[in-house]
Amino acid sequence: MDGLEQSKTSPPETSPISPRDRQVDEHRFFAWDHAGADSRHMRRKHDEMLKHEKWAACWEVACKVVDDSGILVLLGSRGNGKTQMGVELIRRACMDYEPTDMDLSYGRPRKVARYIRLRDLHMAIKMAYGLNAQITERDAVVSLTMPHLLVIDECQESSDSDWAAQTLTYVLDKRYGLMKPTVLIANCLKPQFVKLAGSSITDRIKESGGFLMFNWPSFRGAN
């Protein structure tokens, strides 16, 4: 009887994590640590953002568009959580990543998601044109099409040049064809973004994703 009573109050035994599960976790955290997001945004807790009702509502829509492999645009003024949402989508992609046995056999985990600013994207491709370039233009584009999820920030700083517009269109078209989700973030309103992005990109967005307006006050200094 005493033994029976003791068994009722004893904590349940937990199974030790398997070597494969441990390796999967290592791949997920490596992908998260090397996605390119800023440390400030990586440190913020997701639950803190979900306390903001409007942000949380946008989060639900954003997850659906990403899961449907669409192109999502986050628009609005500075400081209201657009970049944080992009980073949280990256975190979600990395932590949901299910590597295959072949993936696990590689010494270095796959690039699951990537965060990059538009200006850095242009610079990365221009580096391929240098006299002593160590990568080709194709290498630079592949680095942008390989990740399952790509988040491009600061899109309001798009150049007026035809090359810049054509480059972004090409990257988005490649990812669209591969059925990989892309998130674009810009500190502006929809009319300005449409003018900067051009009709080709705008049509792709309307076809496969959509726009989310972050039209509430800045979170910065709110506390």
Cα(95)–Cα(92) distance, integer angstroms: 5
Q: What is the largest CA-CA distance in the chain?
A: 83
Enumerate residue ranges in the chain where pLDDT < 70: 1-15, 107, 159-160, 221-223
The neighbouring-strand residues paired with 211 are: 73
pTM score, two decimals?
0.88
Say what the pLDDT of residue 152 is.
98
The three-class DSSP label of residue 124 is helix
The single residue listed with the structure tokens 């904590």 is: 11
The pLDDT value recorded for residue 109 is: 74
Q: Would you kindly state where each structural domain of the chain is located, as residue ranges?
A: 70-98+105-216
pLDDT at residue number 5: 44
The CATH classification number of 70-98+105-216 equals: 3.40.50.300
Q: What is the pLDDT of residue 164?
A: 85
Query: Which residue's structure tokens are 């699951």?
Result: 112
pLDDT computed for residue 221 by the predictor: 62
